[in-house]
Structure 1
Amino acid sequence: MIVSICILIFLVCLYIYFFPRIPKRKKHYAYALLLGCPAHDDGTMSSSQIKRCNLAIDMYKKGLYDTLIISGSNVKNEYVEAKVMHNYITNKTKIPTILETHARNTFENFKLSKEYIQEQDVLILTSQTHAKRACAIAKQFFSDYGCSWFKDLKMKHILREIISRIIYIKIEIQKKIGRY
Structure 2
Amino acid sequence: MRRKNTSRRSHPVLTWLLGLTALAAGLYLWLLPPVKKPRKQYPFAILLGCPCRKDGSMSRSQVERCRLAMAAWSSYRTLVITGGAVKNKWPEAQTMAAYIRTRCPIPVVIEDKSRTTWENLKNTREIIGDVPVLLLTSSLHAPRAQAMARHFFSDVAVQTYRENRLKHVLRELVSRKIYIVMELKKLAGGSAE
TM-score band (shorter)?
A: over 0.9
Does residue 73 in structure 1 map to residue 84 in structure 2? Answer: yes
Q: For the pair shown, which has the larger CA radius of gyration, 1 or 2?
A: 2
How many correspondences in the alignment?
Answer: 178
Q: Distance in 2 between matches of 1:98 and 1:78?
A: 20
Q: What's the CA shift string for 1:44-93, capped at 9, x where partnerless? A: 11100000000001111xx1111000000111011000001011101111
% same residue: 41
- In structure 1, the residue matched to 2:127 is 116
TM-score (norm 1): 0.96
Once the two structures are TM-superposed, the CA of residue 11 in structure 1 deviates from its matched residue by 1.3
Question: In the TM superposition, what is the alpha-carbon distance from 1:3 to its structure 2 partner?
Answer: 2.5
Q: CA deviation at 1:95?
A: 1.0
Asked if structure 1 preserves the Cα contact closer than 8 Å seen for 2:134 and 2:157, the reply is yes
* Separation in 1, partners of 2:160, 2:128: 20
Runs of at least 5 residues in structure 1 that lack an aligned partner in the other structure:
none
Deviating above 6 A after TM superposition, structure 1's stretches of 4 or more consecutive aligned residues are: none
Which residue identity does 1:25 align to in structure 2? P
RMSD value, Cα = 1.0
Q: Which residue number in structure 2 is paired with residue 147 of structure 1?
A: 158
Aligned residue number for residue 36 of structure 1: 49
Where is the helix percentage greater, Structure 1 or Structure 2?
Answer: 1
Q: For residues 139 and 166 of structure 1, what CA distance do their matches in structure 2 show?
A: 18
What is the 5 A alignment of 1:8-27? 8-27=21-40
Matched residue type, 1:118:
G
Specify the code of the residue in structure 2 equivalent to 1:140: H
Deviations along 1:14-57, one digit per CA (max 9) or x if unpaired, are 10110122223122000000000000101111100000000001
Q: Please, which runs of 5 or more residues in structure 2 have no aligned partner?
A: 1-13
Q: Which residue of 1 aligns with 2:3?
A: none
2:181 maps to which residue?
Answer: 170
